[in-house]
Amino acid sequence: MNIVFLDALTLGDVDFKRFEKFGNVQIYQTTKPSQTLERVKNADIVVTNKVVIDKNIMDNSDIKFIQIAATGMNNVDLKYAKEKGIIVKNVAGYSTNAVIQHTFALVLGLINKICYFDKYTREVYPKSEIFTHIRNWFEIQGKKWGIIGLGEIGRGVAKLAKNFGAEVVYYSTSGKNNNPEYKKVGLEELLKTCDIISIHAPLNEYTQNLLNYDKLSLIKENAVLVNVGRGGIINEKDLAKILEEKNIFAGLDVFEKEPVNEDNPLLKFKDKTLLTPHVAWTSIEARNKLMQGIYSNIKEAVKALD
């Protein structure tokens, strides 16, 4: 078997040697669109995280199995792969705990103004006349936490938010999710009434551009908005306008374009945003689970293809 990893750099420092037992393994740290076809032309198995595998690639290669090194599958033309008889698999659920933890890292970082206080302590505190420095921040206890997308990750966040003493409500992006443990509300009510809002939804026809200017303008003053779902759920230009107009705070791990452009308007709001480069899924434990899932899927594929 010829096995090709197209964007191994996105997986970090993990063990690739185990795959050599299945055949010839070629590892590329990154792959540009113009390089994809040449690299997968003679591959039986292709492993991709974000590199796109479309109709043209499938028609002009010998690919038999595509392993997506992620949960999301929108970088592969799934419909055409099915027509071609190419098996496509992902790895689901490997990063649930990591994303839940990162959600709270962003929320607490913003609420407790960690970046501000760290900078103050380094630059100003040594010259201070008093032992403390007051800057308003609030407790989660007694606040309302709204969750957009109550899937496995959303439910995990809801459970911890409840343990912090928050009242949890949720909005189902598909309209099909009904969870009696928490109050289901409309999107506008959630945005208007919640002190903390976290997004845990996939990007699809229900969520694309879900939070545009009109919706974002409903968010109450001093509220915290966190997105660890997908970047296209929030209109970034509209969010930048809202940050100019209102005193709200945003924690983002995902963006419309990744990596972000240097002129992304959100980069300038240093006091109102906490930004991370799509790392919520990248704990050591999550990446180990991901690689084990990839290994298991390829092991099954090799048996099926022999």
Judge if 192 and 257 occupy the same domain.
yes
DSSP assignment string, the chain: -EEEES-GGGG-S---GGGGGGSEEEE-S---HHHHHHHHTT-SEEEESS--B-HHHHHTS---EEEESSS--TTB-HHHHHHHT-EEE---STTHHHHHHHHHHHHHHHHTTHHHHHHHHHHTGGG-SSS--------STT-EEEEE--SHHHHHHHHHHHHTTPEEEEE-SSS----TTSEE--HHHHHHH-SEEEE----STTTTT-B-HHHHTTSPTT-EEEE-S-GGGB-HHHHHHHHHHS--EEEES--SSSSPPTT-GGGG-TTTEEE-SS-TT--HHHHHHHHHHHHHHHHHHHHHH-
Neighbours of 152 (CB within 10 A): 13
Give the count of domains, the chain.
2
Decide if 133 is catalytic.
Answer: no
In a 13 Å sphere around the CA of 141, the CA atoms on its Cβ side amount to 1
Can you tell me the distance from the alpha carbon of 81 to that of 73, in angstroms, rounded to the nearest whole number? 12
The percentage of residues in the chain with a pLDDT greater than 90, rounded to a whole number, is 96
Residue 79 near residue 220 (C-beta atoms within 8 A)? no
One-letter amino acid of 88: V
Can you tell me the distance from the alpha carbon of 237 to that of 216, in angstroms, rounded to the nearest whole number? 11
Angle of helix 152-163 versus helix 96-111 axis, rounded to 10: 40
Residue 98 near residue 280 (C-beta atoms within 8 A)? yes
Residue 237: give the domain boundaries.
96-275
Give residue-wise pLDDT tens across range 108-163.
999 999 999 999 999 999 999 999 999 999 999 999 999 999 999 999 999 999 99
Judge if 146 and 253 occupy the same domain.
yes
Judge if 193 and 230 occupy the same domain.
yes
Judge if 102 and 35 occupy the same domain.
no
Judge if 137 and 243 occupy the same domain.
yes
In this predicted structure, what is the pLDDT of residue 291? 97
Judge if 54 and 119 occupy the same domain.
no
Judge if 167 and 297 occupy the same domain.
no
Decide if 20 is catalytic.
Answer: no
Neighbours of 285 (CB within 10 A): 11
This prediction has a pTM of: 0.94
In this predicted structure, what is the pLDDT of residue 111? 98
Judge if 267 and 217 occupy the same domain.
yes
pLDDT band at 305, cuts 50/70/90?
confident
Give residue-wise pLDDT tens across range 193-230.
999 999 999 999 999 999 999 999 999 999 999 999 99
Q: Classify each residue of 54-76 as buried b or exposed e, where b means 16 or more C-beta atoms within 10 Å of its C-beta.
A: eeebbeebebbbbbbbbbebebb
| Catalytic, out of 230, 236, 256, 287 | 230
Whole-angstrom CA distances from 207 to 107, 174, 211 are: 22, 9, 8
| Res 3 pLDDT > 90 | yes
Judge if 73 and 136 occupy the same domain.
no
| Res 8 pLDDT > 80 | yes
| CATH number of 55's domain | 3.40.50.720
Judge if 119 and 251 occupy the same domain.
yes
Judge if 266 and 157 occupy the same domain.
yes
Whole-angstrom CA distances from 53 to 41, 74, 77 are: 12, 10, 7
Beta bridge partners of 148: 171, 199
In this predicted structure, what is the pLDDT of residue 306? 77
Residue 153 near residue 185 (C-beta atoms within 8 A)? no
| Res 93 pLDDT > 80 | yes
Can you tell me the distance from the alpha carbon of 131 to that of 289, in angstroms, rounded to the nearest whole number? 45
| Catalytic, out of 20, 258, 285, 300 | 258
The structure tokens listed for 120 are 């103050």
Neighbours of 159 (CB within 10 A): 13
Judge if 109 and 214 occupy the same domain.
yes
Decide if 278 is catalytic.
Answer: yes
